[in-house]
A and B are shown apart, each in its own frame.
Chain A
Amino acid sequence: MATTETYVGSTVLRKEDPELLTGQASYVDNQTMPGMLWMAVVRPPYVHARITGIDTSAAKAMPGVVGVFTAEDLDLGALPFVWPITEDIKVPVHYPLAKDKIRFHGDAVAVVVAETRGLARDAAEAVHAQVEELPAVTDPEAAMVDGAPILHEDLGTNVTVHWSHGGAGDQSVFESAPVIVEERYTQPRLIPNAIEPRGCLAYGVPAMGEYTLISATQIPHIVRATLGGVVGIAESKLRIVAPDVGGGFGSKLNVYAEEALALATAKATGRPVKWIEDRHENYVATIHGRGVIHDCTLAGTEDGQILGLKFIEIADLGAYYQLLTPGIPELGGWVYMGPYDPQTYWYEFTGVLTNATPTDAYRGAGRPEATYVVERLVDAYARRIGMDPAEVRRKNLVPRFTEARTAISGLNVDSGDYHATFDKALEMVGYEDLRREQAERRERGDVKQLGIGLCTYIEMCGLAPSNILGALRYAAGGWDACTVQCLPGGEVVLKIGTSPHGQGHATTWAQIAADALGVTPDDVRVLHGDTAVSPLGMDTYGSRSVSVGATALHLALEKIKEKARTLASHELEVAEDDLEFANGTYSVKGAPDRARTIADLAASAWHAHAIPDGFEPNLEATAVFDPPNFTWPGGAHICVSEVDTETGAAEILRYVAVDDCGTVINPMIVEGQLHGGIAQGIAEALYEEAIYDDHGNLITSSMTQYLIPSATEIPSFELDRTETPSTTNPLGVKGIGEAGTIAAPPAVVNSIVDALAHLGVTDVGKPATPERVWEAIRRAEGGAA
């Protein structure tokens, strides 16, 4: 069992895989219980309407229907919203079942529970809402105008929050600088599309008032802390289980109406209740991402020095706040300087309610929105002053730093080496050769033009120090926890507070523990996602798990080693200072045969026959880590595209990414996270967009209209990395879950604009659909004529 191998930093194949590869996973829809009922949600086909009555009689009369419930039948509290970002924010009340009005397509007015999946659906169709339809508004700018339909009359306005930030330095540059670049960029709503839809299974022991909710969630701990109050179950009697979860991307970082409704109907009927979301429901009832418009200003010099960056944003919040809604643009508000060093900075956003699905955290959450506009703007600046965009970036990237420095946005950035990643990416892609080829194609007037799109980025991960979250008015902390148990047989159990759904924590955490305790990853079992098993935790989102959760593991391992040292000293009858530790073994200095492995000591601690006075039996430790700062990954992505100038179609020829996420624990998993993130970013840049019609109906309401690219559309990626350790945590790790999604959209869109820049094209929109690109070319040609 003892080994001299170092697992941290090496590719270790995933411990998670066997069950997933053989069809034995525990996804919520794979679980069933005796007497289980099926829940279906009634979502009437209205976008904005006053409810005058709900007729459930026909549904109730159907055979196999056990119950039909409206808001009146279930005494439910409002759903949690935990990030009131300003003192004067207006907060709409959001009940699991709508009481007075339907405000978007996902609004539910009733639920049905029935004996089978099909019967529940049949009965849901038989529930009829009587309504008085109201005019709807889904365009946030239209929703801001006087006379726009008001979603929540008690608030009196759709404009519910305004947040601004910045002001350090000399703001006059926005008027007086030699070069002022002003651009407006629109980023449409996106639908996260975890391939597993949401779902949950609620059951309990009614006589005891104890309930369990198995839910496809990223955040079992936060669900437990917030849902009990909604459904009237004591927190101590509510257990939340996140089983195998089929992807999240932020869409399962929430506390949803259906989770409350499954619990409430399980309580009301005394039977287990399961709800599984249809994809169609997923498109209207699960959060959307993005949905922002930015007016951007860059102040700079003629020779490429960026002096100031200013962004004024309108954020489409949707019909209610979900868990974090207005916090998402705020989160982006700290990274609008990018990896650059302007003298001054301004960011503000206005949040607007619309008759559409609430927006919330979607992969990257605020930071992709910010990075997209910064990187588009830097390219626009380069074109304006006639300088190569690589040169402009080189001139403005913050030089290498290994101790934290304060960025103009006010936060301390832990470490960074942006030139290293950028230079490496330029070299990998063969930048000069590509520029030559581009010039030749332009010279020849080729139908297919070449574009090179750059993005240098930073992101802020490891959310976050609890005191900073408190200052930002976020209701929870940012710590995480881990319990290490050394079993008497020599194996190790980790109970972790993060809740993975594809990220490979069971492998990564095992690698760290194996190195520390001198065992193999196979000897380490990682338990997660169950509030009864690992009660302490803050779950998985915001690329926080390794930098916060694995650091908690590291600290717990240190405690284990300390405790083991005490026991080894006792058993070997030498002073602790006379012991040395290597490969999981304490040995007497100078007498290596006199030794105890961690496994030996775990057994001694367990039987406790001869332990020191005051020594607690068992080799077990828990640590909680509250990070002193964020972590700040960074990197450079380059996209090479070919644009068909006759049709507007863009094809990605190459995609190069050099990222720095600090110390890497498992390179295979890090690369996998990047691949997936980049693919989602490419999807955002070229394909995906939630489109509403003039009446507020979601046109892209299925996977046939909302275009998720397949392997056929996505290219291979060329990756490399640098490692600049974080100074925020002892592991030196930063986080990699969102980097690809943050960097790819501007790299791709910049490449398309770059391909067409000689024609006078300055923007192609996002996503850069063939029609938008074709239109941009036509507009540019018309302008030139």
Chain B
Amino acid sequence: MIPAPFEYERVEFVDHALQLLTDDPEAKILAGGHSLLPLMRLRLARPSMLVDITRIAELSYVREEGETIAIGALTRHHDLANSELLQQACPIVAYAASGIGDPQVRHVGTIGGSCAHADPASDLPTVLVALGAELVTRGPDGTSRTVPADAFFRGLFEPDLLHNEILTEIRVPKTGSRGWSYLKFHRRAIDWALVGVAAVATRQGAAIALTNMADRPIRAAGVEEALAGGADPATAAERAAEGTSPPSDAFASAEYRQELVKVIARRAIEEAMSR
């Protein structure tokens, strides 16, 4: 199927992209395009213009900045998965990226695209929320904002991002190789998670975040509280459904997801504790 007609501009600098977006409120950013182009082919999305930012070389990197790993927003899933730096300093990001979609999708899809799409069934946003990551945006006239992950994902397909703002960097803390897990439960390897759980040991204790259990990735505060209070993983995980509002759809009912999340949370915590 063929998308409806649109204009196309490829940009090499962020400011050029911002200018085009400012000029045309119906324009959209093309990052990896693996969420956007299928919608356009089905004619469920019809942007007037695509601003192709994939050649902005300055936005693809993984680098160490003190206690933080800075990831350029246009870094592809494939490059995250194979980044030695991430594998050592923040392996949960590399691991979660290695399980997104399929190899072809990982060769094109980017972390910035995933975050800006803000699909609550997506893996990386959950991992970023668990890690307490920060997302850096750039807007017109050189403005820049740094937003904590749990504030950035505001709702279903609703990132904290203005139309003429671009996500430029994702900053994650170094966790070292121990104390992490990301488990997702899905029907087929390429499917979105029915339920996913990220568990990360932090200085403050354990951080647990959930995929597809609300209109955005959320922290499992009840589980974290129980763990902080010394509960064992099984007992703590019993609270994994607290405060969740998962969807009921063709894949699973909300009720099932709320039971499933307890099992997956327990297994994720156990796995995190074992490594």
Asked if A and B touch directly (CB within 8 angstroms), the answer is yes
The CA-CA distance from A279 to B190 in the complex, in Å, is 18
User: 8 Å CB contacts to A: which residues of B204-260?
Assistant: 249-253, 256, 259-260
- Complex contact A707–B185 (CB within 8 A): no
- Complex contact A122–B189 (CB within 8 A): no
A774 within 8 A of B: yes
- Complex contact A712–B188 (CB within 8 A): yes
A5 within 8 A of B: no
Residues of A within 8 A of B4 (CB): 122, 125
Residues of B within 8 A of A705 (CB): 250-251
Closest to A281 in B: B1
- Complex contact A646–B188 (CB within 8 A): no
A412 within 8 A of B: no
- Complex contact A713–B189 (CB within 8 A): yes
- Complex contact A647–B263 (CB within 8 A): yes
25 pairs across A/B with beta carbons < 8 Å?
Answer: A118-B5, A121-B2, A125-B4, A125-B43, A278-B1, A279-B1, A280-B1, A280-B42, A647-B260, A647-B263, A691-B250, A699-B250, A700-B250, A705-B250, A707-B191, A710-B188, A710-B189, A710-B190, A712-B190, A713-B188, A769-B187, A770-B194, A770-B252, A770-B260, A775-B256
Closest to B249 in A: A699
Interface string of A471-486 (1 = CB under 8 A from B): 0000000000000000
The CA-CA distance from A587 to B242 in the complex, in Å, is 89
Closest to B4 in A: A122
A687 within 8 A of B: yes
- Complex contact B253–A771 (CB within 8 A): yes
Nearest chain B CB to A258's CB is how many angstroms away?
Answer: 15
Residues of A within 8 A of B264 (CB): 647
Closest to B43 in A: A125
The CA-CA distance from A375 to B43 in the complex, in Å, is 45
The CA-CA distance from A122 to B191 in the complex, in Å, is 31
The CA-CA distance from A248 to B226 in the complex, in Å, is 55
Residues of B within 8 A of A654 (CB): none
- Complex contact A774–B187 (CB within 8 A): no
Closest to A118 in B: B2
Closest to B267 in A: A646
Which residue among B185, B189, B256 has the maximum number of chain A CB atoms within 10 Å of its CB? B256
Query: Which of B42, B43, B191, B259 is the one whose CB lies under 8 Å from A774?
Result: B259
Closest to B263 in A: A646
Using a CB–CB distance below 8 Å, which chain B residues touch chain A? 1-2, 4-5, 42-43, 185, 187-191, 194, 249-253, 256, 259-260, 263-264
The CA-CA distance from A770 to B256 in the complex, in Å, is 9
A709 within 8 A of B: yes
Closest to A708 in B: B188
A152 within 8 A of B: no
Interface string of A636-675 (1 = CB under 8 A from B): 0000000000110100000000000000000000000000
Q: A647-B263, A649-B185, A709-B188 are in contact. Are A771 and B256 (CB under 8 A)?
A: yes
The CA-CA distance from A774 to B253 in the complex, in Å, is 12
User: 8 Å CB contacts to B: which residues of A32-57?
Assistant: none
- Complex contact B188–A707 (CB within 8 A): yes
User: 8 Å CB contacts to B: which residues of A700-749?
Assistant: 700, 702, 704-705, 707, 709-710, 712-713
Nearest chain A CB to B217's CB is how many angstroms away?
Answer: 20
A395 within 8 A of B: no
The 5 closest A-B pairs by CB, nearest first: A712-B189, A118-B2, A278-B1, A771-B256, A646-B263
Query: Which of A125, A700, A702, A770 is the one whose CB lies under 8 Å from B187?
Result: A770
Nearest chain A CB to B83's CB is how many angstroms away?
Answer: 24
The CA-CA distance from A664 to B187 in the complex, in Å, is 37
Nearest chain B CB to A692's CB is how many angstroms away?
Answer: 10
- Complex contact A647–B185 (CB within 8 A): yes
Residues of A within 8 A of B42 (CB): 280, 702
The CA-CA distance from A121 to B42 in the complex, in Å, is 11
The CA-CA distance from A691 to B253 in the complex, in Å, is 14
Nearest chain A CB to B181's CB is how many angstroms away?
Answer: 16
A271 within 8 A of B: no
